[in-house]
Amino acid sequence: ETGVTQTPRHLVMGMTNKKSLKCEQHLGHNAMYWYKQSAKKPLELMFVYNFKEQTENNSVPSRFSPECPNSSHLFLHLHTLQPEDSALYLCASSPGGLKNTEAFFGQGTRLTVV
Amino acid sequence: AQTVTQSQPEMSVQEAETVTLSCTYDTSESDYYLFWYKQPPSRQMILVIRQEAYKQQNATENRFSVNFQKAAKSFSLKISDSQLGDAAMYFCAYSFGNEKLTFGTGTRLTIIP
């Protein structure tokens, strides 16, 4: 059983749809991340939240909108996506603070934009 | 900026044999963490092993061990007695202080029965 849970596992959406990805961690961590993993490309960091505050937005298009209501939950709101946004979206958490160590990952959401 | 390089996109090894995956990184810091993650077909990234840069002793976890060469900025992963369940993508990663993880591009490991 993972300490980081992502829902849904799979999502197919049209380019005009609005959907949200959810991530929940039960590890007491203070930092949460969204990564995008496309085929044949390196893992791309999208957003970082530390103690509920967004500390990094890695030049992500505005059609991706993160939300972190508390240290345990992280959302990624999606709207008017493009087919090239199809990818595996991974959520991760880590202790945060000045001595950040390893990140723990969820199982990912496989997103297909049609 | 920190970078992590994995120069082997694919590797294969006979079952029960030993394989070494390479990783180099670039940093100006002296106290940082290095990690190896495994991503099997189930997609979940699983931490395999962790090395703290201020520790000279190489980390070991059962059949997994690292060769950490700080001066050379090299951090290779050795898998002994390879098993079919070791087949996966392996990612090397770096972190410093309160910064996020920086990942390499990964090495796909195939185990030959």
- Give the Cα separation of A32 and A3 in Å (integer): 12
Distance from CA of A94 to the nearest CA of B (A): 9
- Give the Cα separation of A48 and A94 in Å (integer): 11
Cβ contact A90–B98 (<8 Å): no
Cβ contact A103–B101 (<8 Å): yes
**Lowest-confidence segment of A24-38, A51-65, A87-101 by average pLDDT:** A87-101
Mean pLDDT of A34-47: 88
Cβ contact B47–A106 (<8 Å): no
CB of A97 within 8 Å of a chain B CB? The answer is yes
Mean pLDDT of B33-53: 92
Residue A97: what pLDDT?
A: 67
Confidence of residue A2 (pLDDT cuts 50, 70, 90): low
A78-106, pLDDT tens digit by residue? Answer: 999 999 999 999 999 988 765 567 889 99
